[in-house]
Structure 1
Amino acid sequence: MVVMNIFGMALDETSKAPILILKNEDETQALPIWIGAVEAMSISMALNNVPFPRPMTHDLLLSSIRALNGSIVRTDILEIREGTFFAELVLEQNGKEIRLDCRPSDAIAASVRAESPIFVANAVLESAGVSGEMLDKKIVHREDSGKWKDLLDSLDDTETKYKM
């Protein structure tokens, strides 16, 4: 398992789907995950500390876990089957580990709020990861957002576009 951090988000120009990009700590590997718009908004709002007058779904999940004397320990992105990522939200309650099957985007949205780490299995990185260097060469910053299209066009749909 490799610890990954949220590097940023992009938009797939073809499908208009948001892409969450994770990078390992030394930024040598990146993992693009195509996610839903609602989950992208939830992750973005949590990353930017945007307050809401009422709890959003992922806030409710976190407050429910805490009300039951639990905590979110981490997100584990474990495998890819038939183009779909599989993840578990790892909780701790009264010294007991609890693993919940979930979509990576939901687990990450909850983990961001709990300030818990994101782990990705080595096999997932081998299968769906790209080099951080390749990503850096093709994507500069927000002001060069047009380069996202070039990067996405260069990726092989059958190898790198995975479902949440």
Structure 2
Amino acid sequence: MIEMKVVGLSLDDATKAPILVLRREAGEELLPIWIGAMEAMAISIALNSVDVPRPLTHDLLLNTLRSLGAQLVAVDVVDLRDGTYFAELDILLNGSRIRVDCRPSDAIALALRADVPIFVSEDVLRRAAEDRLRPNLDENAARRPTDAASSMAREETARRDVRDRKS
């Protein structure tokens, strides 16, 4: 398993879908993963340390784990099938390790909140590179990702402010 860090979020130029960009901890290798808008928002909130008045879903899950005496140890991206990535939560409970199937976007949203490492299997990295599953990714955008979810939130806030001023 290779430790990866979240570089940020970007947007697919063609589809405008959010892209989560991971980079090898000790290197320049990138792994872009296309995710949903809501997942991008959850990741953006964690990346930007945004305080929310009530727990969001990922906060709820992390709080639940902690309340049960469990500890999220790491998250692992373990497989790539037909263009879909698969992840697992690595949880320690009562001295036993438990693995829970999870979408990578949810796993990473949790990892950022719990400040635990993100790992990707070497096989997944190799297959992602070989399969060229990133046909619409501008390499420059991946190297300098914009935080698309934060941009979306700022735009919505600006629209709301304009509406409020008109009222």
TM-score (structure 1 length as normaliser): 0.79
- Where in structure 2 are there 5+ consecutive unaligned residues? 131-136, 149-167
Choose which of 137, 140, 149 in structure 2 pairs with 1:138: 140
Distance 1:38 1:73, change over 3 A: same
Letter matched to residue 13 of structure 1: D
Coordinate RMSD, CA, aligned: 2.2
**Which structure has the larger Rg over C-alpha atoms?**
2
Corresponding position: 1:12 with 2:6? no
Distance in 2, Cα, partners of 1:65 & 1:142: 31
1:69-88 equivalent positions in 2, closer than 5 A: 69-88=69-88
Q: Is the 8 A contact 1:77 1:86 kept in 2?
A: yes
Distance in 2, Cα, partners of 1:65 & 1:115: 14
Distance 1:68 1:45, change over 3 A: same
Distance in 1, Cα, partners of 2:145 & 2:62: 31
Distance in 2, Cα, partners of 1:138 & 1:112: 24
Instruction: Kindly state the Cα deviation for residue 137 of structure 1 after the two structures are TM-superposed.
Output: 6.9
Q: Is the 8 A contact 1:79 1:86 kept in 2?
A: yes
Instruction: Kindly state the Cα deviation for residue 27 of structure 1 after the two structures are TM-superposed.
Output: 2.7
Distance in 2, Cα, partners of 1:23 & 1:118: 10
Instruction: Kindly state the Cα deviation for residue 94 of structure 1 after the two structures are TM-superposed.
Output: 1.2
Distance in 2, Cα, partners of 1:137 & 1:80: 21
Instruction: Kindly state the Cα deviation for residue 129 of structure 1 after the two structures are TM-superposed.
Output: 4.0
Q: Which residue of 2 aligns with 1:65?
A: 65
Q: Is the 8 A contact 2:10 2:145 kept in 1?
A: no
TM-score (structure 2 length as normaliser): 0.78
Q: Which residue of 2 aligns with 1:149?
A: none
**Identical-residue share of aligned pairs (%):** 51
Shift >3 Å, 4+ stretches: 139-143
Q: Which residue of 1 aligns with 2:30?
A: 30
Instruction: Kindly state the Cα deviation for residue 138 of structure 1 after the two structures are TM-superposed.
Output: 2.5
Q: Secondary structure at 2:13's aligned position in 1?
A: coil
Number of matched pairs: 140
